[in-house]
């Protein structure tokens, strides 16, 4: 009879962010032994690193939280509609304490390689601290926005002042008072941090390459009555979230933007604008499918930007023209556009005057020199595949994930890859997570993975691997779904377009959170259709 290999642990979990923590919880509850590795000094993942001023989640706090522990759900009380980074990190630390999750992890330990032995059906994982561990299964819960993009700007290392990347923010607070601060980048991180930095800095110079759509958050403290109402019916809220396209209990207007009168359209846009934030992208169901429908949303938001920015010429510079609204994630802000009415905030349009070099005293554009004490790089991430591509992952017959994905990520269900038995990934390429509520997405993935491991064991299997055909079909399905939308027309990080040389492929699955969940359920119910089990 075949005997399972003797390994150090059953499962290695890489990452102690939202999905890694839940993976440790869930697999332990199944009685499995776990070794967790985390490069940071503590839990939190994205929320450990992104401590920049103004950092908040753009999904409402009551939804951006675990549903697996109903007592936790009842006991924890969010204070604001959109939680700050600090509050989310406190929550994740609380979850880790509550379920003793830290004990599974080696912190400040980065996984550098994972190598599959096909004879023994074993993964060997090596870390930068020299720790080597074997396991039957590996779960890469390494995040999608976890490898900072540091652009290659001439002279950057010569800068004599302080410099920070928003995604690698220091733990000690940064004091901007009396300082001249340059912020490079106007994605979510730039747009969230600029208004806060401008409150204390002497001067803020915003270096904008591409303007972005951003909508005021409509953030507010949560009242006791509201919290009580949510808690009284949390299960129903979660049920609606799981049945939705985006993993929150929100849905688009029942008719398309082009099916209603101009008056009705404006009324709906007003309503969604007042709800605040990125949900505006989903006011009408056809907004990111039809260019004509999208134009109605774009025009509405352009008028709002013009209302908020006093100088009409400046408003022109701040209005995006390069992408349909919503095809890059709309930023959820707190006072971004009105910040440009302040005397101490200057916009530099890099399309007109690009950065030429960074010098010890500041930044030289083709038009002007800016004296700076601090440079903030709000330049984003090598998203979705960046972290995995920096780990030497070798599967069957020495196949490397880096080579396999050289033309873009190739997964089955976003969770597995052909050639890499017993390896799972969470919330990444080929899944809808970045387009949805990441926390429920993490639970969805981990629940499926743990059931899959249970199935393999129950059937006396040593390894499970997605077939090449199922990967081909899933990649085709993801491409086909994206091609039916306006998303591939934007130079977004979803497309890998923000990283020079990265293949341009729309990486997420855009068929919706609920549809994806139904596919996962079907695959499992059919005895893990599309997989070979040995
Ligand atoms: P993003 O959204 O990728 O934004 C990065 C910004 O940095 C964007 O405005 C880029 O301009 C700019 N950038 C990048 N490289 C350069 C160089 N070399 N010069 C000038 N400007 C540059 O990252 P964020 O961290 O803001 O947000 C990531 C996600 O976190 C966000 O989507 C939310 O889901 C949460 P570009 O557009 O490339 O011209």
Residue nearest to atom 12 of ligand 1 (CA): 185
Locate the ligand 1 atom nearest the alpha carbon of residue 209 and give its number: 39
Q: What angle do CA 370, 374, 379 make, to 5 degrees?
A: 90
Token digits of residue 44? 């939190």
508 Rama class: left (phi>0) / alpha (psi -120 to 50) / beta: beta
pLDDT tens digits for range 182-216 = 999 999 999 999 999 999 999 999 999 999 999 99
Residue nearest to atom 2 of ligand 1 (CA): 187
Mean pLDDT over the full length of the chain: 97
Around ligand 1, the residues with Cβ closer than 6 Å are 145, 151, 153, 166, 184-190, 207, 209-210, 329, 350, 378-380, 493, 498
Which residues are bridge partners to 116 per DSSP? 123
Locate the ligand 1 atom nearest the alpha carbon of residue 153 and give its number: 18
Q: Could you tell me the distance, in angstroms and rounded to a whole number, from the CA of residue 4 to the centre of ligand 1?
A: 47
pLDDT tens digits for range 474-488 = 999 999 999 999 999
pLDDT tens digits for range 330-380 = 999 999 999 999 999 999 999 999 999 999 999 999 999 999 999 999 999
pLDDT tens digits for range 96-146 = 999 999 999 999 999 999 999 999 999 999 999 999 999 999 999 999 999
Q: What angle do CA 417, 422, 426 make, to 5 degrees?
A: 60
Q: Could you tell me the distance, in angstroms and rounded to a whole number, from the CA of residue 493 to the centre of ligand 1?
A: 8
Token digits of residue 479? 């491409």
Q: How far is CA 258 from CA 182, 186, 268, 294, 326, in A?
A: 42, 31, 12, 10, 17
**Same domain, residue pair 371 and 411:** no
Pocket test for ligand 1, best of 17, 53, 185 (most atoms within 8 A of CB): 185
The answer to the question of residue 4 being in a domain is: no
Give the residue among 362, 407, 372, 374 at the shortest CA–CA distance from 501.
407
- 80 in Cβ contact with 220 (< 8 Å): yes
Burial 93-110, CB ≥16 within 10 A → b, else e? bebbeebebbebbbeebe
- Calculate what percentage of the chain has a pLDDT beyond 90: 98
**Same domain, residue pair 421 and 450:** yes
Distance CA 140, CA 142 (A): 5
pLDDT tens digits for range 212-250 = 999 999 999 999 999 999 999 999 999 999 999 999 999
Q: Could you tell me the distance, in angstroms and rounded to a whole number, from the CA of residue 367 to the centre of ligand 1?
A: 22
**Same domain, residue pair 405 and 316:** no
Q: How far is CA 107 from CA 27, 50, 419, in A?
A: 19, 18, 29
Of the CA atoms within 13 Å of residue 38, those in its CB half-sphere come to 26
Q: Could you tell me the distance, in angstroms and rounded to a whole number, from the CA of residue 189 to the centre of ligand 1?
A: 8
**Same domain, residue pair 195 and 314:** yes
Average pLDDT value for residue range 511-529: 98
Average pLDDT value for residue range 416-432: 98
The answer to the question of residue 154 being in a domain is: no
- The DSSP call for residue 338 is H
pLDDT for res 351? 97
Cβ-based burial of 259 (10 A; exposed 0-12, middle 13-18, buried ≥19) = middle
Average pLDDT value for residue range 65-69: 98
pLDDT tens digits for range 272-316 = 999 998 889 999 999 999 999 999 999 999 999 999 999 999 999
Distance CA 432, CA 246 (A): 8
Residue nearest to atom 33 of ligand 1 (CA): 188
- The DSSP call for residue 143 is -
Q: How many CB atoms lie within 10 A of CB 292?
A: 9
pLDDT tier at 390 (50, 70, 90 boundaries)? Answer: very high
Q: Into how many domains does the chain fold?
A: 2
Q: Could you tell me the distance, in angstroms and rounded to a whole number, from the CA of residue 299 to the centre of ligand 1?
A: 23
Locate the ligand 1 atom nearest the alpha carbon of residue 377 and give its number: 7
The answer to the question of residue 161 being in a domain is: no
Give the residue among 484, 470, 531 at the shortest CA–CA distance from 512.
484
- The DSSP call for residue 515 is H
Token digits of residue 1? 């009879």
Look at residues 377, 395, 428 and tell me which one is the last residue of a structural domain. 377
Locate the ligand 1 atom nearest the alpha carbon of residue 493 and give its number: 3
Distance CA 220, CA 212 (A): 24
Q: Could you tell me the distance, in angstroms and rounded to a whole number, from the CA of residue 378 to the centre of ligand 1?
A: 6
The answer to the question of residue 230 being in a domain is: no
pLDDT tier at 497 (50, 70, 90 boundaries)? Answer: very high
**Same domain, residue pair 200 and 308:** yes
Look at residues 331, 357, 377 and tell me which one is the last residue of a structural domain. 377
The answer to the question of residue 231 being in a domain is: no
**Same domain, residue pair 86 and 44:** yes
Q: Tell how far CA 158 is from the center of its chain.
A: 32
**Same domain, residue pair 353 and 338:** yes
**Same domain, residue pair 49 and 121:** yes
pLDDT for res 320? 98
pLDDT for res 120? 95
Token digits of residue 450? 């743990």
427 Rama class: left (phi>0) / alpha (psi -120 to 50) / beta: left
- The DSSP call for residue 173 is P
Token digits of residue 352? 């007109």
Pocket test for ligand 1, best of 187, 321, 355, 363 (most atoms within 8 A of CB): 187
Whether the predicted interface score ipTM is above 0.85 = yes
pLDDT for res 5? 79
Residue nearest to atom 10 of ligand 1 (CA): 185
- 48 in Cβ contact with 78 (< 8 Å): no
Distance CA 61, CA 294 (A): 28
Distance CA 272, CA 269 (A): 5
Give the residue among 385, 305, 329 at the shortest CA–CA distance from 187.
329
- 118 in Cβ contact with 397 (< 8 Å): yes
Residue nearest to atom 27 of ligand 1 (CA): 188
pLDDT tier at 4 (50, 70, 90 boundaries)? Answer: confident
The answer to the question of residue 171 being in a domain is: no
Residue nearest to atom 35 of ligand 1 (CA): 188
Locate the ligand 1 atom nearest the alpha carbon of residue 498 and give its number: 38
Residue nearest to atom 34 of ligand 1 (CA): 329
**Same domain, residue pair 461 and 491:** yes
- 462 in Cβ contact with 534 (< 8 Å): yes
Q: Could you tell me the distance, in angstroms and rounded to a whole number, from the CA of residue 433 to the centre of ligand 1?
A: 19
Look at residues 336, 355, 377 and tell me which one is the last residue of a structural domain. 377
Q: Could you tell me the distance, in angstroms and rounded to a whole number, from the CA of residue 24 to the centre of ligand 1?
A: 32
Q: Could you tell me the distance, in angstroms and rounded to a whole number, from the CA of residue 208 to the centre of ligand 1?
A: 10
Average pLDDT value for residue range 423-448: 97
- Calculate what percentage of the chain has a pLDDT beyond 70: 99
- 193 in Cβ contact with 386 (< 8 Å): no
Locate the ligand 1 atom nearest the alpha carbon of residue 191 and give its number: 26
**Same domain, residue pair 399 and 361:** no
Residue 459: is its pLDDT beyond 70?
A: yes
Q: 427: domain CATH number?
A: 3.50.50.60
The answer to the question of residue 270 being in a domain is: yes
- The DSSP call for residue 32 is -
Range of 415's domain?
9-146+383-533
The answer to the question of residue 430 being in a domain is: yes
pLDDT tier at 3 (50, 70, 90 boundaries)? Answer: low
**Same domain, residue pair 350 and 404:** no
**Same domain, residue pair 438 and 469:** yes
Residue nearest to atom 14 of ligand 1 (CA): 379
Cβ-based burial of 532 (10 A; exposed 0-12, middle 13-18, buried ≥19) = middle
Pocket test for ligand 1, best of 52, 59, 164, 209 (most atoms within 8 A of CB): 209
Pocket test for ligand 1, best of 64, 88, 188 (most atoms within 8 A of CB): 188
Locate the ligand 1 atom nearest the alpha carbon of residue 167 and give its number: 25
């Amino acid at each position: 009879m075949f005997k399972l290999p003797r390994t150090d642990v059953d499962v290695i979990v890489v990452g102690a962010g939202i999905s890694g923590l839940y993976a440790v919880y869930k697999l332990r509850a199944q009685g499995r032994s776990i070794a967790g590795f985390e490069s940071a000094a503590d839990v939190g993942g994205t929320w450990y690193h992104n401590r920049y001023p103004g950092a908040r989640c753009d999904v409402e706090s009551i939804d951006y939280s675990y549903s697996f522990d109903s007592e936790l759900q009842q006991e924890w009380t969010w204070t604001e509609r959109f939680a700050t980074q600090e509050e989310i990190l406190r929550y994740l630390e609380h979850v880790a304490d509550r379920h003793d999750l830290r004990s599974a992890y080696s912190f400040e330990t980065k996984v550098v390689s994972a190598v599959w032995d096909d004879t023994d059906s074993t993964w060997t994982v090596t870390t930068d601290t020299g720790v080597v561990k074997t396991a039957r299964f590996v779960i890469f819960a390494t995040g999608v926005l976890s490898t900072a993009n540091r652009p290659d700007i001439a002279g950057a290392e010569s800068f004599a002042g302080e410099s920070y990347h928003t995604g690698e923010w220091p733990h000690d607070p940064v004091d901007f008072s009396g300082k001249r601060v340059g912020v490079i980048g106007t994605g979510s991180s730039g747009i969230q941090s600029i208004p806060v930095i401008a409150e204390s800095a002497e001067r803020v110079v915003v270096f904008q390459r591409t303007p972005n759509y951003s909508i005021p958050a409509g953030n507010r403290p949560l009242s006791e009555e509201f919290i009580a109402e949510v808690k009284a019916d949390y299960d129903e809220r979660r049920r609606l979230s799981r049945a939705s396209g985006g993993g929150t209990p929100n849905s688009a207007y029942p008719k398309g933007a082009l099916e209603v009168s101009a008056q009705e359209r404006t009324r709906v846009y007003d309503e969604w604008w007042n709800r605040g934030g990125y949900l505006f992208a989903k006011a009408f169901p056809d907004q990111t499918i039809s260019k004509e429908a999208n134009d109605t949303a774009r025009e509405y938001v352009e008028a709002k930007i013009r209302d908020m920015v006093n100088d009409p010429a400046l408003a022109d510079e701040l209005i995006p023209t390069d992408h349909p609204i919503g095809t890059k994630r709309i930023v959820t802000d707190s006072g971004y556009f009105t910040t440009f009415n302040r005397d101490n905030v200057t916009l530099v349009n890099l399309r007109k005057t690009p950065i030429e070099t960074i010098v010890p005293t500041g930044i030289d554009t083709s038009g002007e020199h800016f004296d700076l004490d601090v440079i903030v790089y709000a330049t984003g991430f090598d998203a979705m595949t960046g972290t995995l591509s920096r780990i030497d992952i070798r599967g069957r017959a020495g196949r490397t994930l880096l080579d396999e994905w050289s033309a873009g990520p190739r997964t089955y269900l976003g969770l597995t890859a052909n050639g890499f038995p017993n390896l799972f990934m969470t919330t990444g390429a080929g899944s809808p997570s970045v387009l949805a509520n990441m926390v429920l997405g993490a639970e969805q993935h981990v629940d499926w993975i743990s059931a899959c491991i249970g199935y393999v064991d129950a059937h006396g299997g040593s390894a499970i691997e997605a077939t090449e055909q199922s990967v081909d079909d899933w990649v085709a399905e993801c491409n086909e779904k994206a091609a039916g939308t306006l998303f591939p027309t934007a130079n977004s990080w979803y497309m890998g377009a923000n990283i020079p040389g990265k293949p341009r492929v729309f990486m997420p699955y855009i068929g919706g959170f609920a549809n994806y969940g139904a596919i996962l359920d079907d695959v499992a119910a059919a005895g893990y259709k599309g997989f070979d089990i040995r």
